[in-house]
Structure 1
Amino acid sequence: MALKEQITEDMKTAMRAKDMDRLGTIRLLQASIKQKEVDEQITLDDSAVIAVLDKMLKQRKDSITAFEQAGRDDLAAKERAEAAVLQAYLPARLSAEEVAAAVQALVAEVAAELGHAPGAADMGKLMAAAKAALAGKAEMAQVSAAVKAALAG
C-alpha cells in the first residue's frame, strides 16, 4: 500500500476511534502533502511524502526545543505527541555505523568519478549523492556530520 493511502486509512481509523489528537496530526500531514502537490502540480510518490514527513518532524523538534527553553512543557508535550505520530510513517532509520558505511561507499564512488580523493571543495557533490541515496533513511544532519568526518579523515 502506498504511503499516502496508508495515511488516508489511518485518518479514517482515527475518526472512527474518535482519537482527536492523532486525527489532527494526520490532517496536518495530509494538508502539507496536498499543499505540495498543488504548489508543484504533481502527485507525490512515497519518497516525496517522506520528504514532507522529514520537514514536519524537523519543525516539531525545533518547536520542542523552543517550548522547553521557554518553560512551556505542556506545548512541548503536544509537539512530542505529534512527532510520535509522524515518526510512525517513516521507514526505519539507519544507525550511525550504517550511515558512516554508506558515506564511505559514496566517497569511494565520488573519488572514482573525480579521479582523486575528494576534499572539502567536493562536499556539495558528496552531500548531493548522500541526499539521493539516504533520503528518508537517515537524518540529513547525521549524514552531513558523517560526510564531514569522511572528508577530514
Structure 2
Amino acid sequence: MAANEHEAKMAHPRMAAGALFFDAAGRVLMVEPSYKDYWEIPGGYVETGESPLQACVREVREELGITPSIGRLLAVDWAPSAKEGDKVLYLFDGGQLSDQMHSQIVLQSDELRSYEFLARSGISGRTIPRLARRIEAAMEARDQVAPVYLEHGKVPAPEGAA
C-alpha cells in the first residue's frame, strides 16, 4: 500500500475537551449555550498544537472566566457525528468549586446564557442523551477513581462479543 493510500485511510477526528465541576452537594455544573437548544458542560474543541488538557483549561477560562485546577482524566468518548465526522471527546475532573471560585464565574456573554449546578437526576432533562450518558459515566469513573473508555457515551461490549 502506498503511503498516500495509507494516509487516506487514517482517521482525522475532531477532538474536544471539557470538565466536570461540582458543588458541595455533588451536583455538576452545566452551561446553557445561546447557539444550542440543549445544555452542555464547559469545554470545546482542541486547537492545532494544543493538548486536550490545555484546551480544557483554555475553554473553561474563556467560557467561565476562571482558571481552576483541572484534575485527572475521567472519560474518553469516541462519538462520531453525521454532521462533523469522527470525534474524540475528553472529560476531565474539575473537582469541587470553592465558594470563592464560584463567585468569580463570569460567563462568556456571546456564547452562554446561564449556568446551573444539576443533580444527576436532572442532567438528562437538560441535554442530549449521548452527553447525559457521557456525564453519568464520567461521574461514575470519578467515584471509582478510574477513567473510562466510551463509545457514544456508553461502555462498549468487549470486541467480538455478541
Q: What range is the shorter-chain TM-score in? A: under 0.3
Q: In proportion to residue count, which structure has more strand?
A: 2
TM-score, reference length from structure 2: 0.23
Structure number with the higher helix fraction is 1
Of structures 1 and 2, the larger Rg is shown by: 1
